[in-house]
Amino acid sequence: MSERLVIHHVGHFGDGVAIEGSQPVYVPYALGGEVVDVQPAHSHPDRRELLHVVAPSPERIEPFCPHFGTCGGCAIQHWQPEPYRTWKRNLVVEALSHAGIECPVDELIDAHGSGRRRMTLHARQSQNDILRVGFAAAGRHEIIAIDHCPILDPALNGGIETANAIAELLKPVAKPLDIQVTASDNGLDIDVRGSGPLDTAMLSHLSKLAEQHKLARLTRHGEVVIQRNTPTIMVGKAKLTLPPGSFMQPTVAGEEALAALVIAKCKGAKQVAELFCGFGPFALRLAEKFSVTAFDSEAAAISSLQDAVKSTQGVKPIKAETRDLFRRPLMLQELRDVDCVVFDPPRQGAQAQSQQLATSKIKHVVAVSCNPATFARDARILIDGGFRIDSVTPVDQFRHTPHVEIVARFKR
């Protein structure tokens, strides 16, 4: 049964929002001011599926990807760039306002660059034994098979074909697979998860496939199957070996933009503590100017950071330590010799660490976040502890999605 709605605005997740009575109704791929025909989305009572745009917005444009609207990777390709950029900046403004924080927010920095340098493809077999390799459908437990993705960095060329070949080879295992593909400077680095233990014959077949597709490295759950070349990337002056399946900023331009902002906002510091440092995309650059102590829960990432420091000239020594900052945040006495703290936590934010910083004598904090809601929560903690925000900069390296990065400086 279809119904006709008038879309009021675009919501926080990129869906069009209609107001029906007192309740919002969410319509993916609709824009503010549009009149649309929709039908119920059975698994979500407050959502609708777009059937037809009766009266399109003048801001609507043609999506550039043939998979848009079925693949769940992008939420917005149908909106003109300027209103899209305004909307994305406002995600930060509104999150701060919701937390009772009023402060200037800079213009959005576009950091898509040449595109995404990492992706995770899912391989699933249907009940009729059809193998699909691609991205998850929007709002559904279904895989949309893809043969091309226009938002990827050209360095990932061949990654989709290789993932298909791996999934086909592992089809007898009959398990759902997640295949992470990362572009290193020496070729593709692929980590396969979900297969369970594999026998010697299957591992041999995987090694031959890696040779055939000229992969730098192929790992299974982080364990090396074959390494033809050491997968490395440049981080500032440092050549760093990637840990298998490691997290990295999705675009080269994004990493460089965030790092430049972090360094600029650390101005005046001497001793910097970087928390949730990963393998050191900020720490290695910070060490060109400051003394750095770095912490992260991933031992492999810390090991790669330590190795990079040893082999790099022109950076100061970095004290790097494996530590779960969610369970063991840095305490007051451990912050005695630090005059600036940088933190870049996962999406859940850094609540426990912010509480410690709020009661410390630290006068300078630089916060990096990929989640406006948890950033605003943590900012509120710091402000209640006596800090003030003197700069907030949003960065868009997840173009065409509702995800936005934030770099902010707090002083007292």
Q: Is 71 a catalytic residue?
A: no
Rama region for 83: left / alpha / beta (φ>0; ψ in -120 to 50; rest):
alpha
Distance in angstroms (rounded) separating the CA atoms of residues 297 and 214: 32
The Cβ of residue 335 has, within 10 Å, a number of other Cβ atoms equal to 16
Give yes or no for a contact between 33 and 57, defined as CB atoms under 8 angstroms apart.
yes
Candidates 71, 149, 277, 370; catalytic one: 370
CB-based contacts of 321, cutoff 8 Å, min separation 6: 293, 294, 295, 302
Strand order in the sheet with 23-27: 3-6, 35-41, 44-55, 23-27, 16-20, 9-10
Give the pair of three-digit tokens for residue 256: 């460089």
End-to-end CA distance of the chain: 58
C-alpha closest to that of 71 among 123, 11, 125, 149: 149
- Residues taking part in catalysis: 370
